[in-house]
Amino acid sequence: MGKSEIVNQKSKISIGFSPCPNDTFIFDALVHNKIDTEDFLFEPSLEDVETLNEHAFAEYYDVSKLSFFAYALVSDKYQLLNSGSALGFKCGPLLISKHQIDIANISKIKIAIPGKYTTANFLFSIAFPEATNKTEMLFSEIESAIVNGTVDAGVIIHENRFTYEQKGLKKIIDLGEYWEEKTGMPVPLGGIAVKRSLPEKTKYKIDRMIKESVEFAFANPRSGYDFIKANAQEMSEEVMYKHIGLYVNKFSINLGEEGRKAVQRMYEFAQEKKIIQEMHRVIFVRHN
């Protein structure tokens, strides 16, 4: 039997994730067959996280990275996997500006956010519920918008944590620290969701394979360099690996009880604030 015939017998699984270094680091081994993907053929699409959030509403991918906040709005269509997530301490979004701004005045200024459905916007909304003058932008455009005065301040995510000071911008508040002080829990940023309609056995296998992909990446940190670098745009290697170090950790291998509790607490907060409705279905894929 030829190689093409074997490939044709595999079940195709569409998977969407971002081109950010943490995601390409996590998924490199999975999508490039550096681990045994058994009877699956993973077909990757790389898109900005807010685009992934929006695509989840239409069930675009079988498996998708998305903001934990956005997941609450598609929990009837998807379940959360235990592997591949971005959670942690001291890694949350930052509110920045050209000038120091008094916290009491945040509601009076124009703020850029990296998407309506992002966890960054959710955390900002919890901290500043009266700040409604928001403009949605691609996360990579927010620093420039602040510098040129299009907005007064912005909520930044991803590698912009490492670059904003070089542009003369200042931190107003670390929204991750705000969450940690309020809850004592890691900040849930992004998770991996799988279609509820897939067979349970398939969900378990995908979860296990993503875990193996993360473990492979940790064991062979330079293995995915070309894939990571190709999608990191003009990011320096130093920033690229700082990014990975910040967002890929033990929770990426397995959320565990601590990670799942943090995610659940986020949804409790959102329900208390009437930002989302109560979710009645089991949200995490559970292994037998």
Q: Which residues are catalytic?
A: 158
* d(C-alpha 5, C-alpha 41), whole Å: 13
Closest alpha carbon to 6 in 33, 46, 45, 44:
33
Q: Which residues contact 274 (CB under 8 A, 6 or more apart)?
A: none
Q: Which residues contact 188 (CB under 8 A, 6 or more apart)?
A: 68, 85, 87, 119, 259, 262, 263, 266
Q: Which residues contact 84 (CB under 8 A, 6 or more apart)?
A: 26, 27, 65, 191, 192, 210, 211, 213, 214, 252
* d(C-alpha 120, C-alpha 43), whole Å: 28
Specify whether the CB–CB gap between 279 and 75 falls below 8 A: yes
* d(C-alpha 188, C-alpha 192), whole Å: 12
